[in-house]
Chains A and B, each alone.
Chain A
Amino acid sequence: MATAHSRAAARLTMAPAVVLLLGWMLIPLSMTLYFSFQRYNLLMPGDEAWIGFLNYEYFLTDPAFFAALWNTLLLVGGVLVITIAGGTALALLLDQPFWGRGVVRLLVIAPFFVMPTVSALVWKNMFMNPVNGLFASLAKGLGLPPVDFLAQIPLASIIVIVAWQWLPFATLILLTALQSLDSERLEAAEMDGAGPLDRFIHIILPHLARAMTVVTLIQTIFLLSVFAEILVTTNGGPGTATTNITFLVYAQSLLQFDVGGGSAGGIVAVILANLVAIFLMRMIGRNLDI
């Protein structure tokens, strides 16, 4: 519903954003695609050559790739489980009336605003350090041997750090969804004889399902690209114990200067992310009525 005049204006006003994003997507992505078929190492200039799928072959058969794939899955899955379960519990708690709700809400969402490098370093040094960390002090106080978290259970430690950062996000979204639940529906269920657990399973959980899906999809997009937390805590180690796909590609391209191999890894990462993105886009697209 508009005039030709306003439609022309619409095309014109949309153009800058579209052109910028198109450029941002197409130019580097096609370059990555091109590099991925090249022998191209920054340390060996002049040695570039077309080598077909060889980079992919190397990348996909490298044991480090499988380790990284597995680590990525564990990292994403672990954080999702912790944040969604914890977020639901927190949302239910924060939805109750109590004194100081506003303040507690602020406390709970705070970790989301902490930059990844800070939270990784604080956790690594001040909490998980086996000598001076707070957990070590705590263990000592209880007469237990201190644990060197990032050496003994490195991936689990990183999962905890990342989950701490994302718990507020899940909580906030689930809380918002919870508050949109019509209380009459709960009262009706109560009148029908449903106890608290029944109400949670049959009324609250189905109501939260949509928000949980949104949380899962959006977090997955971000969690696939976790980088800074790994860089400043373990640097992907020990060995490849905490190397995810993102970190592997980074190491291959910017530490080993293997542009071809890194590009092949980048394309693999794009494909993996797209698998998730398709679901997310469907979700959001369905709610978008223009």
Chain B
Amino acid sequence: MERLDSRVRVVWLGSALVTALVVGVAVAIAGRRLFEVGLWVGPAVFAVLAVLGVAYTLQRYRVWGFDIESDAVTLERGVVTRVNSVVPFVRVQHVDSQRGPIERLAGLSSVVVYTAGSRGADVTIPGLRPERAEAIQAELRRLATESEPGDPEDAV
């Protein structure tokens, strides 16, 4: 299994902390205005969410892995519900690479693989160095085309 770039933890942690901050501030304001509780509630909520966010991020990073095998991309992920997906190359419809704002700050990219399936039709591999993302995108494109011998298996 190929691991994600370790800097992805920064990206995830960043978004977890932003969420915690927003919720904390909202709780603090609501607490002051509506319920007249002390000022400590907001920071406490933030602290709890932040700790949870850190634990979640570390575990998420520990679980995440993907592999480009001979016939398919396999992925393993999920902290609460563990998910192992197999995406055969012949089923890849197209491949995107994406860079969100926090990802750009950390110098990372994501690759999104689309299939024609009805559920889980798009699979995202986050936390890749841009050159690795490009390489994966190119490789998937090549493998997806290669595994189409005269295309009798265009399933849709």
- Asked if A and B bind, the verdict is no
Q: Which residues of B contact A (CB under 8 A)?
A: none
Q: Which residues of A contact B (CB under 8 A)?
A: none
